[in-house]
Structure 1
């Protein structure tokens, strides 16, 4: 699946106008349609915005008629998938872990329909329905670069990581980040501590801020947040304490220009757009698990803070090339980390 180098955030207004409603549907026509369900409970605004942007783009280019449902409860999620089953679009999509089971249940009941999820919990050969595709991001790759950056920028030799939940998608951020910090520590000839905390969800900004406040108060001066909407609390803590933070999913510089070292980005808009285009054209990828990373221009780092020395920026660019060529393979799990 081809990936472009750049993406734009669009579709935010469409997302905002339907928040709080059970769903917003563009009436079906004889044209091909694509259905998308997003959950505002457990996914950050940037994650949702990118997903909706991919759907919007496919609609603007005349690929499909968009069917968008924004849900805020289990009941609404069930109703959204039931409605899409009746409308029978070319593909039914969802993002993140919270809707994966609903998507999979719908797929099992409707083997003649096609489904795709992004960063879902299923994997090919381990319970994923045969009419479902899972697009996954190698977040450990840009997180390794972020960890190296944090390790080179810390003055206290303590950095932090705050995730939303203990799930594989968040582990990818953490173990890649930790390995990158250790690469920087080895280069500096110093030990650098990595503190870790988990919010327990992706929406509680206050809880995330309390965790970040605790880390900053106990000497951490850089934190990578991988906590969705809750991560906004981490960014707020960085601004209050005058320390550094690393964003996630999209370039989050606009939220804290003075404090944002960089962001670990996922080109989710392009992935959604390409998936819809493929299915609308009849090129289905049922049962496939597709991994996207730096080599596909699907993940990476946002522009670096002006305070980052040129030598560090140049080293990060070189490390990125090494990852793309497969010469550096950052760990994504505890097992892979332990084996390094």
Structure 2
């Protein structure tokens, strides 16, 4: 008698669970916030290329942060992306209590030493210095303007660099270009107290234009669109965009956007998620600089003709000098 052949049992392949990246922020509509949009672009890129699940979680106020993070800790979030000005105490308590959960903060320096927290900051003063030098090189009135959404380090870096870049241009060329709206010595100036109210942006734009400024850097998120609206209506002046290339992403302002100060938030977020996927995430602080290419000036696009070859060459030389540490782009402490 032949022994019956028993077909092998097919063992179904068990797919490993997908990595889930949860982004936590205080703004309900991502599209209304430049900074968050770039971060979310990084999450979406990870969804497309790394087979990751992304989730966006809104908190209404700072006091909700610990509660919401605890809820996320009880769920499936492998990486929690914190977008906002959260306190060290809030993040420290949660990170210390959950050493197996991974966190990253974007754009705001936290004094944390946990292996499960990766912080990311930018030396944005380096690029803002170039923007100030550029603006001083093309101004017709000899007056530049700037203002900020809040008097915090990440905003001050924009305005410090901008003012010091213009001052450096003056020393190189014997000119007397003035920067209204910010004093890098006293660290004081025009602050609106928010990043989204376009009417506040309009008022700041009107105030600076009335005072003679013809190149304005609004370090205030989407509030800067209100300033751009006023510049567009009045003419004879230009805007320097922040965080991403305004001439490309906001085509209505392409004819008035001299350049933009770019941060590659999306690249950092994607890289952090990729580290989780590949199992090599580590805590600490990652800094975006001119040298590593995570920050920079956008092309001049429609206003390319305003920038002479000589000024371009100067900007190239100054960029290299900043990278070499030969030019200081922040005020002395």
TM range (shorter): 0.7 to 0.9
Could you tell me how far apart the structure 1 residues matched to 2:36 and 2:281 are? 24
In structure 2, the residue matched to 1:37 is 24
**Offset of 1:310 from its aligned partner?**
2.2
In structure 1, the residue matched to 2:35 is 47
TM-score (norm 2): 0.83
Could you tell me how far apart the structure 1 residues matched to 2:65 and 2:111 are? 22
**Greater Cα radius of gyration, structure 1 or 2:** 2
In structure 2, the residue matched to 1:213 is 206
Could you tell me how far apart the structure 1 residues matched to 2:209 and 2:179 are? 12
In structure 2, the residue matched to 1:7 is none
Counting only pairs closer than 5 Å after superposition, residues 94-105 of structure 1 correspond to structure 2 as 94-97=82-85, 103-105=91-93
In structure 1, the residue matched to 2:128 is 143
Could you tell me how far apart the structure 2 residues matched to 1:271 and 1:244 are? 30
Structure 2 unmatched runs, 5+: 1-15, 182-189
In structure 2, the residue matched to 1:327 is 326
Instruction: Render the CA deviation track for 1:211-269: whole Å, top value 9, x for unaligned.
Output: 12111101111111110121111211221221111010000012411211100000111
Counting only pairs closer than 5 Å after superposition, residues 28-177 of structure 1 correspond to structure 2 as 30-40=17-27, 45-74=33-62, 77=65, 80-97=68-85, 103-124=91-112, 131-177=116-162
Q: Does 1:295 pair with 2:291?
A: yes
In structure 1, the residue matched to 2:187 is none
Deviates more, 1:155-164 or 1:319-328: 319-328
Alignment root-mean-square deviation, CA: 2.4
Cα pair 1:148 1:180 within 8 Å, conserved: yes
Counting only pairs closer than 5 Å after superposition, residues 178-257 of structure 1 correspond to structure 2 as 178-196=163-181, 197-242=190-235, 243-253=237-247, 254-257=251-254
Q: How many residues align?
A: 302
Could you tell me how far apart the structure 2 residues matched to 1:303 and 1:195 are? 25
Instruction: Render the CA deviation track for 1:95-115: whole Å, top value 9, x for unaligned.
Output: 232587654443244233111
Identify if the C-alpha distance between structure 1 residues 192 and 338 changes in structure 2 by more than 3 Å, giving closer, same or farther.
Answer: farther
Cα pair 2:50 2:274 within 8 Å, conserved: no
Identify if the C-alpha distance between structure 1 residues 211 and 41 changes in structure 2 by more than 3 Å, giving closer, same or farther.
Answer: farther
**Offset of 1:73 from its aligned partner?**
4.3
Could you tell me how far apart the structure 2 residues matched to 1:289 and 1:74 are? 23
Instruction: Render the CA deviation track for 1:141-165: whole Å, top value 9, x for unaligned.
Output: 1101000011111122111111110
Cα pair 1:140 1:176 within 8 Å, conserved: yes
Identify if the C-alpha distance between structure 1 residues 94 and 100 changes in structure 2 by more than 3 Å, giving closer, same or farther.
Answer: farther
**Offset of 1:36 from its aligned partner?**
1.2
TM-score (norm 1): 0.81
Instruction: Render the CA deviation track for 1:277-308: whole Å, top value 9, x for unaligned.
Output: 1122221222x111111111100001112222
**Offset of 1:195 from its aligned partner?**
1.2
Could you tell me how far apart the structure 2 residues matched to 1:224 and 1:42 are? 24
